[in-house]
Amino acid sequence: MKEVEPGAPADWNNIAWRPVVCRIYTDEGIYGDGEAAMAYGSAAPGAFGMVKELAGMIIGADPMKTEPIWEKIYKQTFWGQNGGPVFFAGLSALDMALWDIKGKALNVPLHVLLGGKFRDKLRTYASQLQFGWGDSLNPALSAQDYADNALKAVEEGYDAVKIDFFTFDRAGKTFSEEQRTGLLKPEYMDLVEERVKAVREAIGPNVDIIMENHSFLDAQSAVQIARRVEQYNIFCYEEPNTPTPKTARFIADRINIPVASGERIYTRWQYAPYFEDQTIQMIQPDIGTCGGITEIKKICDMAHTYDIGVQVHTCASPLCTAAALHVEACIPNFVIHEHHVYNLQKFNKDLCIYDYQPVNGEYGIPSLPGLGNELSEYALTHCDKVEVK
């Protein structure tokens, strides 16, 4: 990734995308694939090192014993307990691969192992339309750009879209932290509302809008923005700020839009205070950073106890997409599935042997044993490899 001046338009032909994946082999010739979902941002090298570090702990273990293996890694690594995203991304990758092995060994898809499907189709939304919608990435600048991207998705059958309306200024530069926090200038509020209004008028009242914030706002600006756009019937308000229980309470008490959050919350222990306070209405645990399949099922079941909905966060390779589809099919409190615009890009689609895509805004559930997808020959021959024995 080339260095660019802060705030300058990104080089859309040079996206920083560094998937961290693993393959676990058994002595019976079965293998499983998993992913530490830190392909974007600045933590991929850490996740790579963590997968390598933790891998040595499972050599010789019975891959069918996912619960004991998970607990061993959590308790015997010292940094696992109350750990952060890099640790749990490494654990997630190994756990996912073990579940893949388990499904292949028993010749059943993951959803069977998780208790069976509630549904055969998953309502899906087109995600991150501020980057365009299609097989190329182009930032939306004018209000008409936002409306056009949303209409394109609707024409493909989606009845819900997600957009961060406060990513780019009118010239295509990203807003700074100072511009998006504190009490906002009227010009920024007006710009966001202009774009939201254009999308709502273009797609009509029967298509849902999810408003993404990427935690760039703080509690004050999040409340300001939410109050300005409430009139446009926002389905949910995603990641309004850096998640903490007290600021979540502050925001939830002051807005009239359901809050969605969770890709920066890890494990059931970190989710517990949000459940108890009812400050998040739809959780978004990332299957590749929250502790894997073993842990995400526990998180989703806990959420169900509090009547809280689930959308599994997915911004990763098609491995995580397949895993998320299985989990969402098997939980009673599923709400909607995220289909990130990166899932339409060749640099991501080439990483696995199957390219699962929604049809008319709905995803089917993989039916092959295990995850139902695996790393492609392209991925295996175009990557840096470390073998742990």
Domains of the chain by residue range = 20-107+377-381, 113-364
Mean pLDDT computed over 236-252: 98
| Residue 1 banded pLDDT, cuts 50, 70, 90 | very low
Same fold, 20-107+377-381 and 113-364: no
What is the dihedral sign for C-alpha 58, 64, 67, 68?
A: negative
Which tokens is 31 given?
Answer: 């293998």
Residue 6 has pLDDT above 80, yes or no: no
pTM: 0.95
Specify the pLDDT at position 7: 43
Specify the pLDDT at position 108: 98
Residue 13 has pLDDT above 60, yes or no: no
The domain 113-364: what is its CATH number? 3.20.20.120
The domain 20-107+377-381 is classified under which CATH number: 3.30.390.10, 2.60.40.1150, 1.10.10.10, 3.20.20.80? 3.30.390.10
User: Exposed, middle or buried, 346 (CB in 10 Å: 0-12/13-18/19+)?
Assistant: exposed
pLDDT tens profile 333-356: 999 999 999 999 999 999 999 999
Residue 19 has pLDDT above 80, yes or no: yes
